Amino acid sequence: MSWSEVIGQEEARQRLLRMEKEGRLPHAMLFCGPSGSGKMALALAFASHLLCDEHDKVDDSCGHCASCAMLKTFEHPDLHFSYPVIRPTGTSSEHKMTSDDFAKEWHEMLRNGSYITIDGWLEAMGAANQQAQIGVGESDLLLKKLSLKSSQGGYKVCLIWLPERMNAECANKLLKLLEEPPLQTVFMMICEAPEQLLDTIRSRTQRIDIKRIDTAAIEQALVTQRNIELEAARRIARVANGSWTKALEQLNADNENRQFLEVFISLMRLAYMRNIKELKKWSEMVAGYGRERQIRLLHYFARMMRENFMYNFGNPELTYMTSEEENFSKNFARFVNERNIIELSDLLNLTIRDIGQNANAKIVFFDFAIKMIMYIKNA
């Protein structure tokens, strides 16, 4: 994978190359940043550069050596991946799940694009409502793989995606690997919640903060890579808010945000009409979503409340909405104002917390819907 496949992030790229050229490449790096910012893309491009046979002569992977040929499908013997997995139904409890159990699905997903999300990965594994984690079997597997010599005589690179999903036993074993790393091994951890990692792991890594992608870079990529018209690309780039994955979602006619908008509109209309019976049906429908999707839905609601509040100021530069969202907000925005925006925000934060703590979803969402009546009608 070459640097040209990374959207924006020139500052981070230069920093990584500078550390290598100056002989200051740490044995363990922690790539931190929001989802969609390109952490995995950056790590893969840098790993491809390090594993390229010509890496000491060029700033990129050369694209024509034997190593680059293997890296095109991410099948290089010195490139190791570690990522959260599920335990499929029927799998023996004695079997320690590892990334090898889903290697085929993982490589297929990467070949479709390096801007990956946990939701996409869960879908690729057929996870349904299961939560993915990195268990102790993974640390044992890494120890075994990394103890072998480099097959090409150069670096060995280990990419650990979402290390915050490691259980305690796995994290403690990984810590020992970081304390005594195998020769010429570089660990790259792609993390979205570094605060959930052990302090001792964080202290043994060099943190690389990845910012949200510049809106201009997303806009340009949409035009050049996806052949989107300039005006449409500009609106999509603003709504994406620094996330390439969100930008791509907007191109999908059946994307999740459109579905969430329909759910949001339904709730607001039912709350305005004080239709308790239908609100109960609404809450039961939403309760049928998986926890991860329920939390994403609530974060979407929070964004819509913010956008509708800002819409009242009549300044297009302050709002980040799709054309469909804006069409609804033209009539709805007046119901979100200075008299209820704080209460609405508090209600959403409380509901997100309750769902995150595995409260009964039917009760939580029905309570949420009933309270929405009061806040909307009192606006």
- Per DSSP, the residues of 82-128 read E--B---TT--TTS---GGGGHHHHHHHHHT-S---HHHHHHHHT-T
In 3-state terms the chain splits into helix, strand, coil percentages (rounded to 5) of 60, 10, 35
Query: CA–CA separation, 114 vs 110, rounded Å?
Result: 5
Q: Which of 55-69, 241-255, 352-366 has the highest mean pLDDT?
A: 352-366
Is residue 96 within 8 Å of residue 132, measured between CB atoms? no
Mean pLDDT lowest among 54-63, 89-98, 354-363: 54-63
Q: Tell me the C-alpha distance between 238 and 240, whole Å.
A: 5
The two tokens of residue 263 are 């759910």
Question: Quick one: average pLDDT of 41-57?
Answer: 89
pLDDT at residue number 250: 79
pLDDT-wise least confident of 38-47, 78-87, 224-233, 253-262 = 253-262
| Alpha-carbon span 30 to 39, nearest angstrom | 10
DSSP strand E in 153-271: where?
Answer: 156-161, 185-191, 206-209
∠ Cα 228 231 237 (to 5°): 75
The per-residue pLDDT for range 162-187, each reduced to its tens digit, is: 999 999 999 999 998 898 888 889 99
DSSP H or E segment with residue 36: none
Specify the higher pLDDT residue, 211 or 61: 211
Sorted by where each starts, the structural domains of the chain and their CATH numbers stand as: 3-211 (3.40.50.300), 214-241 (no CATH), 245-378 (1.20.272)
Burial class (CB in 10 A: 0-12, 13-18, 19+), 78: buried
- What one-character-per-residue DSSP string does 133-185 give? BB-HHHHHHHHHHHTSPPTTSS-EEEEEE-GGGB-HHHHHHHHHHHHSPPTTE
- Closest by CA to 365, choosing from 273, 272, 269, 263, is 263
Tokens 């509109």 sit at which residue?
265
Phi, psi of 347, rounded to the nearest 5 degrees: -60, -45
Section 219-227 average pLDDT: 91
Q: How confident is the model at residue 93 (pLDDT cuts 50, 70, 90)?
A: confident
Residue 317 pLDDT > 80: no
Reported as a single tens digit per residue, the pLDDT across 187-217 is 999 999 999 999 999 999 999 999 999 999 9
Q: Which residues contact 13 (CB under 8 A, 6 or more apart)?
A: 3, 6, 42, 45, 46
The alpha carbon torsion through 347, 348, 350, 354 (nearest 10 deg) reads 130
Which DSSP category does 201 fall into?
Answer: H
